[in-house]
Structure 1
Amino acid sequence: MKIVRYHNFRQLTPAPLQGSFTRWGGVSSGPLAELNVGSAVGDDPERVAENLRRIRRALGLEVLVSARQVHGARVAVVAAVPAEDLELDGYDALVSACPGVGLLVRQADCQAVLLYDPVRRVAANIHAGWRGSAANIIAAAVGIMTGEFQCRPADLRAAISPSLGPCCAEFVNHRRELPPEFQAYQVRPDFFDFWAISRAQLQAAGLGAARIEQAGICTRCHPDFFSYRRDPGCGRNCSVIAVGRER
């Protein structure tokens, strides 16, 4: 199992439990090989369950909370530790201060934007596809962290996961699909830098530029990740973050 850690969260004390997972190290087969976490792509549910168990064990987590993502801008607060793995319906961002609860975002080119407040010890995981970016789900999640948990945006650390890079983020219908302000992030005709868009949205929400990191790995280019742009019949990667327990 390969876990990509591309930021300095581990330098914090106490550090969150987190990582972005490649497609390797699971039990799924065929185009879903190996570590597919998608339950709606035709995989055997028992294989998906085993893949999730492996992810949970790899990070030392008690439970995983995910969402049935809808490319919207709704944010769920996980206020208590569920008795077992839980999937919430209709959300695209999760926030929690519960130690040991892994917040999981499924991906197949979309970004996971991981947030952590080392002062208030609050974590968030944001599923940011182009629709979520257009709706500025990042601002919505930061707003929940500040409003519900009294986090200060200046204290937050952010990381942008492996996802579709500016090399491959082609939107031929961008004049109809994307907000006018996104035109500034067009790197060549019809291609957009959504990593830069997320960085800009994070900074607009109050995070300092030095506290924002990105993997810089394009999932369509990199064979270690599932990519819907490369293979529409693929599985789903995931990124996970959780508040660690104090020792």
Structure 2
Amino acid sequence: MRCEVKIEEILAVDGCACRYGFFNRYGGGSFPPYDSLNCSFGVGDREEAVRENRMVIQEKMESPVLLSARQVHGDTIFSLKTSLEENREVDGVDSLITNQRGVGLMIQQADCQAVLLHDPREKVIAAIHCGWRGNVINILGKTVSRLQSDFGVLPGNLYGIISPSLGPCCAEFIHYRTELPDSFLPFMVRPSYFDFREISRQQLLDAGLSDSNVRMDGSCTSCSEDFFSYRRARRQGDGITGRNCSVIIMD
């Protein structure tokens, strides 16, 4: 099957356009169980296949370079303030921010959310890897604070989009009493099932974003075989699978 990516422009102000893309799992060169557009070097796939897949992603996004991270479900933020001449992957980081045009910020996920932010006034973007652990430590709020301190962003000017991710239909947490804070209980949609997209929306609103500026893609990665899903791979076998890709870039 072919690579499908939904590329949209968030907002263009003063000649600075911002685009984002959510990729499905098709159109790459990786073999099962990473078939076929796996974008991660850290899941056991062939390195040459991942490099080829990332080239496909760059071409689709028309991105001169990609900045990515070896994500660890933490709250470390990498801030890029100078030009990037070649692709780079940063160790131990789950949030990327920059004011540099032509740099595609790439998040890798298989059920976790990629939360993409753009301030068209200050001309800054962010890409955040946010699984349930990221919600617990509020990496979204911490990223907004870092955007304020590094680039003078006003949270009310930020636009946010939440990627395809684990939906409330599949987000079962049987140990939620020990894993999740009590503040998440209002987002329990039925016993032991949580709506983490709405948790992320609320954390963005708490950080100062306007509700009208926050959007989400409603696709559940666990339900749809068009995406890689760790939960689905666990249900069907050993949990080994590829990683989906989300990218944001300013032109």
Deviation at 1:78, TM superposition (A): 1.2
Structure 1 segment 192-207 matched on structure 2, within 5 A: 192-207=194-209
- Is the counterpart of residue 240 in structure 1 residue 220 in structure 2? no
Which digits, 9 at most, give the CA deviation of each residue in 1:111-167, with x for residues without a partner?
000000011110000000000000000011101111110111111000000000000
Structure 1 segment 59-138 matched on structure 2, within 5 A: 59-138=61-140
In 2: Cα distance, 1:184 partner to 1:17 partner? 33
In 2: Cα distance, 1:14 partner to 1:69 partner? 29
Find the residue that maps to 2:39 and give its secondary structure: coil
Structure 2 spans left out of the alignment, 5+ residues: 234-238
Asked if structure 2 preserves the Cα contact closer than 8 Å seen for 1:37 and 1:236, the reply is yes
Deviation at 1:101, TM superposition (A): 0.6
Find the residue that maps to 2:29 and give its secondary structure: coil
Asked if structure 1 preserves the Cα contact closer than 8 Å seen for 2:39 and 2:243, the reply is yes
In structure 2, the partner of 1:175 is: 177
Q: Match of 2:43, as an amino acid?
A: V
In 2: Cα distance, 1:186 partner to 1:138 partner? 20
In 1: Cα distance, 2:190 partner to 2:110 partner? 23
Deviation at 1:82, TM superposition (A): 2.5
Structure 1 spans left out of the alignment, 5+ residues: none
Find the residue that maps to 2:63 and give its secondary structure: coil
Q: Match of 1:14, as an amino acid?
A: C
Find the residue that maps to 1:65 and give its secondary structure: strand
Asked if structure 2 preserves the Cα contact closer than 8 Å seen for 1:4 and 1:22, the reply is no
TM-score by length of 1: 0.95
Find the residue that maps to 1:127 and give its secondary structure: strand
Which digits, 9 at most, give the CA deviation of each residue in 1:180-231, with x for residues without a partner?
1001100001000000000000000011100000001100011110000001
Q: Match of 1:40, as an amino acid?
A: G
In structure 2, the partner of 1:36 is: 38
Number of residue pairs matched?
A: 243
Find the residue that maps to 2:231 and give its secondary structure: coil
Q: Match of 1:48, as an amino acid?
A: V
In 2: Cα distance, 1:37 partner to 1:192 partner? 27
Q: Match of 1:242, as an amino acid?
A: I
Which digits, 9 at most, give the CA deviation of each residue in 1:55-112, with x for residues without a partner?
1111111110111111011111012223321110111000001011111110000000
Deviation at 1:10, TM superposition (A): 5.4
Q: Match of 2:160, as an amino acid?
A: A
Sort the Cα spacing of 1:189 and 1:127 in 2 relative to 1 into closer, same or farther, 3 A: same
Sort the Cα spacing of 1:89 and 1:77 in 2 relative to 1 into closer, same or farther, 3 A: same
- Is the counterpart of residue 147 in structure 1 residue 120 in structure 2? no
In 2: Cα distance, 1:66 partner to 1:95 partner? 11
In 2: Cα distance, 1:184 partner to 1:137 partner? 20
TM-score by length of 2: 0.94
Asked if structure 2 preserves the Cα contact closer than 8 Å seen for 1:103 and 1:241, the reply is yes
In 1: Cα distance, 2:231 partner to 2:216 partner? 20
Matched residues, percent identical?
46
Deviation at 1:242, TM superposition (A): 1.4
